[in-house]
Every structure is written in structure tokens, then in C-alpha cells.
Amino acid sequence: MIKFEEVSRIYDGQTRAALANVNIEIDKGEFVFLVGGSGSGKSTLLKLILREFRPTTGRIYVAGKDVAALPERKIPALRREIGMVSQDFRLLPGKTVFENVAFALQVIGKPKSLIRKVVPDTLEMVGLGDKSDRKPDELSGGEQQRVAIARAFVNHPKILLADEPTGNLDPETSVGIMRLLDRINRSETTVVMATHDWAMVDQMRKRVVELENGHVVRDQARGIYGARA
Amino acid sequence: MRHALSETLSGLRRNLGITLAVIMTMWVSLSLFGAGLIAAQQVNLLKDEWYDKIEVTVYLCTAKLQTGGNCDPGQDATQEQKDRIQEAIERNPEVEFVIYESKDEAYAQFLDVFKDSPIADSLTLEEMQDSFRVKLVDPQKYQGLVSQVQLMRGVQKIQDLHQILDPVFKWLAALQWGTIALSILLLLAAALQISTTIRMATFTRGREIGIMRLVGASNFYIMGPFLLESLIAAMVGAVFASVTLVFGVWFVIIQNAQQSLEAFRWVGWTETWISVASIFVVAIVLSIIPTIISARRYLRV
């Protein structure tokens, strides 16, 4: 589903590579934790999958597409196959929960009838079936993140990327979010989650890819956070 | 499409002040631009009428027009006189070619030029003159020809229109280019306003646009409202400018100039529609290009 071949990325004006000679292969339906300190290259890796920029060298395949070679006009089609959740939720404050989730379908031209059917189901799935008329500022942090996840998942993407989705949440709430992502993963969605949350990683026993200074230093099936091989 | 329209409306409302500024700048600059075009067409019209055809005209005596001292009393220039004049003109090295125009031809052309004007009735065939129309190799060197021919028998008068028209056309050309240059400056200002508006809009709507890009909205979907917004502002400006222009032509030319300065040909509605069409083309180009440029810059995927 996702394949990095000798991928390096050097940002403009910098000499050190944010990502250096990375090789990763993630299969359909896998759940992968991406761990490592700040500046280790986790976010760069996620952005490369989204084609926010091209790799400096190397090849990246996402959902069967050669992302590095993808022409700009085909980026929207790629992103429709990927859901993205970030630490800061990125909800639209003026819109209700329903509208926030519906927005993701509206802007890719889905018909109203479909939106009316799919959005409530998705909100139900993330456990916010009764809060669809609330505005984001009336919700707790965990609830806001559930809205963001609903928005990322409502179009049933093949891949869900999560960049520190529990970074702003307390441990108890984080567990709920983690369970939700696990459930999404069980529906055949590939999930890649960048995190600092070692307790979560230890508990889940999923594949762990650790980055340090842009290098992959560990790729371990059923790994835990701290165990450096 | 519905999204684009509703977004456009709310965008126009949100940026009402700057939208009005774009409309007004477009209005004034496009009016000037259109006026410049009309002036250019007017000048060309006058040039066509006077300039290209004749440079020096040697008018021959008729029974009615005798002033100048070279005419035989009471009669037209004789064929012999005409032959001698023509020979003299043709021998002059400064002359490129010479055309003999009989008064019948002159009258027919006069009627053709002023066919829609009350002036057509003001002259009769008898008042026209036979003439030699002389094209010079170098229009500035008319003096030799004039002194050679002006005392010949049968020559009633010599007219060198260049001398009269040159300064007029120079001023007209300066005026017309000044107007167009000024309008281009203003049009650039309008284009900058549009690109600033879009930059501001992308800041105020940054989060929304960010999400759109993230979930895979097409470029057109994201840019559409911005394009429509500046297109609408430009169109409104163009409509105002067209109305201004049409009214100006009607008031200045149709109502006044054509009545009081009948001797000249004046631009009419055909030339006005050409200018109006150009106004719209310029308005569309000048709203879409800065929009696409700044959208590509600020809405990068």
C-alpha cells in the first residue's frame, strides 16, 4: 500500500537530510506506529505520502501510484485515497460537527443525498451520533479529535495517516482515540500513526518504525516504544 | 457549481470594500482605455480621409473659381494647360505619382464620404474642381513642387494638407497614447488589487483551504470562487465603463461634434462597439491572469 525506496528529503537551504535513504514497505491493512523524537523525520515522512512535496531522491508508491512522479493535477485524486488526522484537529470553528464532516465530501463534489446518508453513520461510528449539531468549541478535546477522525474517514480512504493524534489529549481520552483508530484499521484501512505516546505503543503491540535523524533505526513487528534492538 | 456561486457571493460580501475599489478602478481605467481606442479610431478615420490620399493637391481653374491670378477669365483650365501642368509635375523628381481627378469624380467621392450627413447637400457639382493629386516621395519636400507649379496658367491654388494636419495629428496621437498609457497604469493597479484581495482571502480562509487541499478538492474547486469573484468585479467595472463610453460617444460625438463640426468624419456606433468589445476582453484577461497567478502562488497544493 505504501512503499519507500531509498527516499531522501533535504529541505531547501539545509544541508542535513530530514529523511535519509529510507526503505519501508507497509501492506494493505497494516497498522504502523512511527516513533522518534522531534525532528526525527516523522512528519516529513507523512507529508511525503500526502505529496505535499516530492522526495529529493528515491521513489514512493502510495496506493499504486508513483507519488514522486505524480503530476500536480493528479494530487487531489491521490489525497482522496488518504485520510489525515493531526494533533491540532483542524476543525472549522464556524461549522457544526455535521458540517465539518460533510465539508470533506462537499469539496470533492459528492452529492447531497450521499452526504446526508454517510455523515450520520460515520459520526455514529466515532461515538458522536448525538452531537452532530454542536460547534467545535462546545466539545472536549477528545470529541474534537473524533470529529477530525470522522472527517478523515468519511470518504473511506485506503490509508489513514495520524500525526500525533493524541498529542494534546489526556491518557484516558487517548485510549479512546486509539481504540477508534484500531477499529478503523480492522475495516481494512491501512493506518500510519506518528506518536510520542510510549504507553500506547507498548500496549498495542503493533509494528513500530523508529526514526532518528532521518534514518530508520528500527522496524519491528509487534514492537514496543523504547526497545532499541 | 452551486458551491462556487455561494462561495463567490459570500466572498464578495466579505471583501465588499476592496471589491468596490476593484470595480471603480476597473471602471475608470477601462473607460479611459475605451476612450483612447475611440480616439485612435477617430484619428485613423481622419487620416484615411485626408492623409493617405492627398499630400499636395493642385486645383485647376473653373469658370466659377478664378482667384489666384493664373486663370483665364471666365473659363475652365484648357486641356493644353492641364497637359502642361501634368507634364511639369511628372517631371519633378520629388513626385512619386500623380493622379488626375475630374470634378465629377471629386463630387462622387464627396457624396460617398458624407453620405449620411446633411453636408452632402451643401455642395453642387459645379462647385467642385478638377485637380491633380500628387503623392510626394518625401512629404516634407513639397516646396519645390509648389514653386514650380504655382505660377502656371490654369492653376487656381495649391493645397498642402500636410502642413495643416501634421500638428493636429501629432497632438491627437499624443492625447490618445497618453490616455491609453494612463489607462494601462490604472489597469495594472486593478490587477494588483485583485491579487492582493486573493492573498488576503487565502489568509482569512487559510484553514478552510488547507482542509480542502488535504481531502483532495480539485484546484478548480478551490480556485473557482476566487476566479468568479474577480471576474464579476471586472465585469461590473466593464459594464459601467461601457455605459460611460456609450454615453460619452452619444453626448460628445453624436449630439455635438457631428452637428457642429460637420466637415469632419466622426466615429460612430461601429467604432464604439469595437471599443466596448475590447473593454470586455481586457477586463476578462486582466481579472483572470492575476487571479491565476496569485492563486497558483498562494493556493499551492
What number is the ipTM of this complex? 0.87
Instruction: For an interface test with B, give the residue of A79, A89, A107 to mutate (most B CBs within 10 A).
Output: A107
What's the maximum distance between 2 C-alpha atoms anywhere in chain B?
A: 97
Instruction: With cut-offs at 50, 70 and 90, classify the pLDDT of residue A7.
Output: very high
Q: What is the pLDDT of residue B51?
A: 60
CB contact under 8 Å between B218 and A108, yes or no, is: yes
- Of the two residues B202 and A131, the one the predictor is more confident about is A131
The whole-number pLDDT of residue B241 equals 95
Q: A171, A93 in Cβ contact below 8 A?
A: no
Q: Per-residue pLDDT tens for A33-90?
A: 999 988 899 999 999 999 999 999 999 999 888 998 999 889 999 999 999 999 999 9
Range in A126-135, B26-35, B69-78 with the lowest mean pLDDT: B69-78
The predicted pLDDT at position B92 comes to 86
Q: Do A72 and B212 touch (CB under 8 A)?
A: no
* Residue B59 DSSP symbol: E
Q: What's the rounded mean pLDDT across residues A103-115?
A: 93
Cβ-contact B142, B161 below 8 angstroms: no
CA atoms within 13 A on the CB side of B55: 19
CB A158 within 8 A of CB A81: yes
- What pLDDT sits at residue B90? 86
> How distant is the Cα of A96 from the closest Cα of chain B, in angstroms?
14
Reported as a pLDDT band with limits 50, 70 and 90, residue A229 is very low
State the Cα–Cα distance between residues B273 and B37, nearest whole angstrom: 11
pLDDT tens track for A182-207: 999 999 999 999 998 888 898 888 99
What confidence tier does B93 reach under pLDDT thresholds 50, 70, 90?
confident
Which residue among A73, A90, A155 places its CB closest to the CB of B219?
A73
CB pair distance less than 8 Å for B221 and A77: no
B54: confidence class by pLDDT, cuts 50, 70, 90 = low
Cα distance from B198 to chain A (closest Cα, Å)? Answer: 19
Using the beta-carbon criterion (under 8 Å), do A108 and B216 form an inter-chain contact? yes
pLDDT at residue B52 tops 60:
no
CB atoms within 10 A of CB A43: 18
- When the pLDDT of each residue in chain A is averaged and rounded to a whole number, the result is 92
| Residue-level pLDDT at B206 | 84
DSSP A25: E
* C-alpha closest to that of B297 among B224, B223, B233: B223
- Calpha distance A176→A192 (Å, rounded): 17
Q: What is the dihedral sign for C-alpha A221, A223, A228, A229?
A: negative
In whole angstroms, give the CA distance from residue B210 to residue A84. 12
pLDDT tens sequence across A213-222: 999 999 988 8
- How many helices (H) and strands (E) are present in chain B, helices listed first? 10, 4
Q: Is B205 helix (H, G, I), strand (E, B) or coil?
A: coil
Q: Kindly report the CA angle at A60 between A57 and A62, in degrees rounded to 5? A: 160
Determine the distance in angstroms separating the CA of B13 from the nearest CA of chain A, rounded to an integer: 17
pLDDT at B166 over 80: no
Residue A50: its chain B contacts at CB < 8 A? Answer: 214
Place of cell 466659377: B64
CA dist A3 → A61, A75, A212, B155, B185 (Å)? 5, 17, 19, 97, 53
Q: Give B143-188 as a DSSP string.
A: HHHHHHHTTSTTEEEEEEHHHHHHHHHHHHHHHHHHHHHHHHHHHH
Q: Which grid coordinates belong to A45?
A: 515522512
Whether residue A78 and residue B210 make contact (CB cut-off 8 A), yes or no, is no
Question: Which chain B residues have a beta carbon less than 8 Å from that of A90?
Answer: 207, 210-211, 214
In chain A, which residue's Cα lies nearest the Cα of B301? A52
Find out whether B200 and B67 touch, Cβ atoms under 8 Å.
Answer: no
**What stretch of H or E contains A218?**
strand A215-220
- C-alpha B296/C-alpha B301 separation (Å) is 9
For residue A212, the model assigns a pLDDT of 93
- Higher-confidence position of A199 and A117: A117
pTM: 0.70
| Domains (range + CATH), chain B | 2-49+166-298 (no CATH), 52-162 (3.30.70.3040)
Q: Which residue has the higher pLDDT, B227 or B2?
A: B227
Alpha carbon of residue B24 to chain centroid: 24
Give helix then strand counts, H and E, for chain A.
7, 10
Closest to B136 in 3D by CA, of B45, B24, B54? B54
CA distance A89 to B153: 101
Collapsing DSSP to helix, strand or coil, B281 comes out as: helix
